[in-house]
Amino acid sequence: MPLDACTRKTLSDSFGREVNYLRLSVTDRCDLRCTYCMAERMTFLPKRELLSIEELEKLVGAFIDLGVRKLRLTGGEPLVRHGIMSLIEKLGHEVATGRLAELTLTTNGTQLTRFAPALASNGVRRINVSLDTLNPEKFAKVTRRGRLDQVLQGIEAARAAGLQVKINTMGLRGFNDAEIPDLVDWALERGCDLAFIEVMPMGEVEVEDRLGQYWPLGELRSMLEERFTLRDTSFCTGGPSRYCDVLGTQQRIGFITPMSHNFCASCNRVRVNCRGELFTCLGREGSCDLRPALRDSTDISEVHRAIRSALSRKPKGHDFAYAANEISGAVSRGMNHTGG
Ligand code: SAM
Ligand code: SF4
């Protein structure tokens, strides 16, 4: 039975922000090597260091007990994690009983042809698919090994299974600037919302020019306004996107602007990586290891205590910044490690 809103627990930090959203990275591995996210040659964590499927389930249960209502699975690529569907099945029960309001995932789309129907029948209603270009050569270049047709087929499989698909696109100056309006048209034709993301200085990747790649989304929006009429809306999915309606369509476009428009004041989320490290801020190095409480204790209140204690230390915000000639506040941890 759904929990009555009045009896729900809430998890808050010391700045009074309610944290009800967990992003859980189920693996640091991926079948692609996007240039802004990973190095070409990656050393992944030894498999024994990863939380087991049972530990992941226990961890999510503990967060739900404390007030988390929304869960996004991510990675690495969540759909390459061995046993992922058995985890999703179990988490689907949390949705069915009303303990979890939403179960979703962020994926590169390569495995969707195989998994979309099972996702849809296990409580997943919408997913985010990352797609930065519709040009097959550019796609192969930015992902270092991906095939665009595989991802496009995956997106169609997801839509056919009844999943709502939102496209996530990195705004990359000098890479996809010219095709942004076409990407919007493509998403409009398929009834997919689309969100643009500013690249963050995370991870030791081999991008020659991180700074040159950064494209403030205000500029991207101005370019779109030459072709579309955009109107700001208060619509919110619980994530960091600020949305606008595309007038004359049912479509929305989101802008995720960690760099040019910091949204830390309204941050409602935390991240746990596949090793059980809790990051209360994506843009800070500190973390809290939940694995000992998860592995060594049968008492779930140990896990609750560790989570609450970490939350009380959630920082006010990140320190990332791109100035004229330099990047500050960069973190060495890659997005695939923390979970995007
Ligand atoms: N593999 C899945 C995917 O690509 O959707 C999930 C993990 S990926 C790390 C999650 C998101 O992080 C993707 O949308 C990706 O574009 C984004 N991302 C990766 N590196 C980033 C960076 N340096 N700055 C901002 N976003 C980044
Ligand atoms: Fe893999 Fe996603 Fe990172 Fe690309 S952005 S390398 S698909 S984890």
**Does any ligand 2 atom lie closer than 6 A to the CB of residue 33?**
yes
Write the DSSP symbol of residue 113: H
Q: Which residues contact 288 (CB under 8 A, 6 or more apart)?
A: 277, 278, 280, 306, 309, 310, 313
Specify which residues 278 forms β-bridges with: 272, 288
Q: Which ligand is nearest to the CA of 171?
A: 1
Distance CA 150, CA 174 (A): 25
Per-residue pLDDT of the chain (340 residues; tens, 9 = 90+): 444 444 567 888 778 888 899 999 999 999 999 998 988 999 999 999 999 999 999 999 999 999 999 999 999 999 999 999 999 999 999 999 999 999 999 999 999 999 999 999 999 999 999 999 999 999 999 999 999 999 999 999 999 999 999 999 999 988 999 999 999 999 999 999 999 998 887 666 666 666 677 888 999 999 999 999 999 998 877 667 889 999 999 889 999 887 666 667 778 888 999 999 998 877 676 789 999 999 887 899 999 999 999 888 877 666 655 555 555 556 565 666 666 6
The CATH architecture to which 21-338 belongs is Alpha-Beta Barrel (3.20)
Tokens of 234: 């208060």
Protein residue closest via CA to atom 8 of ligand 2:
76
Distance CA 175, CA 43 (A): 27
What would you measure as the largest C-alpha separation in the chain, in angstroms? 59
Residue pair 150/129 in contact by the 8 Å Cβ criterion: no
Q: How far is the CA of 223 from the centre of ligand 1 (A)?
A: 23
Strands (E) in the chain, as ranges, are 21-25, 70-74, 102-107, 124-130, 164-171, 193-198, 230-232, 242-246, 252-256, 269-272, 277-279, 288-289, 321-322, 327-328
User: Which residues contact ligand 1 via a Cβ below 6 A?
Assistant: 30, 36-37, 74-75, 77, 106-108, 130, 168, 170, 197, 199-200, 202, 335-336, 340
Q: How far is the CA of 339 from the centre of ligand 2 (A)?
A: 10
**Does any ligand 2 atom lie closer than 6 A to the CB of residue 108?**
yes
Distances (CA, A) of 93 to 9, 44, 71, 323: 20, 31, 13, 47
Has this prediction a pTM greater than 0.85? yes
**Does any ligand 2 atom lie closer than 6 A to the CB of residue 142?**
no
